[in-house]
Amino acid sequence: MTTPADAPRNDGRAADALRPVAVDWDPMGFALSSVLFAAGRTRVLCSVCLDPEVPRWRKGSGSGWLSAEYRLLPASTPSRQGRELMKLSGRTQEIQRLIGRSLRAALDLEALGERTLLVDCDVLQADAGTRTASITGAWIALAAALERLQHQGVLAASPLRQQVSAVSVGLVDGVALLDLDYSEDSRAEVDLNVVMDEQGRLLEIQGTAEGAPFSRSRLDALLDLAEPGLRDLQEAQRQALAVAPGTTTG
Ligand code: CDP
């Protein structure tokens, strides 16, 4: 496998370069917190709301919960997502479970108490990497939401235990690339979504080999490519939080 740092890509990026990240705060004023997170042309609206109760199956446990929803908005893809596609497809269920598990890994649910955090990730524009952008962006909104709940006196201490970011890596024409856009994702031989915490521990790996089984050493090389990207995304998350309105995190 070749991993030339300067492999030509459609947008001129090096093989190990992330797409430009942008974070806009609080586009949804009624949410506890919200961010519009962009990774290149992929743009996801991530919001966090509080339900003061837990689902029935968790009542009396003393612990809270976080659930996530994800969807591709109608005009987010070249061919409009019609009603049929917006139904809870297998893909949508898989993605929202991934987002929920990744964000719950960031939390001490006992410290949250019997409350539920509701995270919504609505994709405004999909150019691949929408599930990883959802996780990275929603973590930012989640951290701000928890800080606001502390400021409001709802929570005595923050239940946030970990920073979590996510990115895709893949093999395209035998070359390992970080943070695939759709032109790359749609022809990738191997496509991996990697979720990592701030200690470099892996929380989730989702991988697909499109008819091209890959070796353990290729997996290791792809994870080696993902890790610095995930660390850079965590730095971008911290920078976004440092300028979050109404919080002091920095
Ligand atoms: O977005 P992500 O890479 O997490 O998920 P995917 O299922 O691998 O989809 C890759 C890309 O395919 C999406 O980001 C969209 O650009 C496109 N796509 C689409 O146009 N319509 C769909 N129903 C699903 C995906």
96 lines ligand 1 (CB under 6 A): no
Confidence of residue 84 (pLDDT cuts 50, 70, 90): low
77 lines ligand 1 (CB under 6 A): yes
Residue 249 scores a pLDDT above 50: no
Q: What pLDDT sits at residue 85?
A: 61
State pLDDT tens for residues 33-71. Answer: 999 999 999 999 999 999 999 999 999 999 999 999 999
136 has binding-site annotation: no
Q: What pLDDT sits at residue 2?
A: 45
Our measurement of the distance from residue 76's CA atom to the centroid of its chain's CA atoms, rounded to an integer in Å, reads 17
**What number is the average pLDDT over the span 109-136?**
98
Q: What pLDDT sits at residue 25?
A: 98
139 lines ligand 1 (CB under 6 A): no
Which ipTM was obtained for this model?
0.97
Average confidence score pLDDT of the chain: 93
User: For a pocket test of ligand 1, which of 79, 121, 123, 130 has the largest count of ligand atoms closer than 8 A to its C-beta?
Assistant: 130
In the chain the domains, ranked by start, together with CATH numbers, are 21-242 (3.30.230.70)
- Name the E strands within the chain: 21-25, 33-39, 42-51, 65-72, 116-125, 164-172, 175-178, 190-197, 202-209
Atom of ligand 1 nearest to the CA of 131: 4
19 lines ligand 1 (CB under 6 A): no
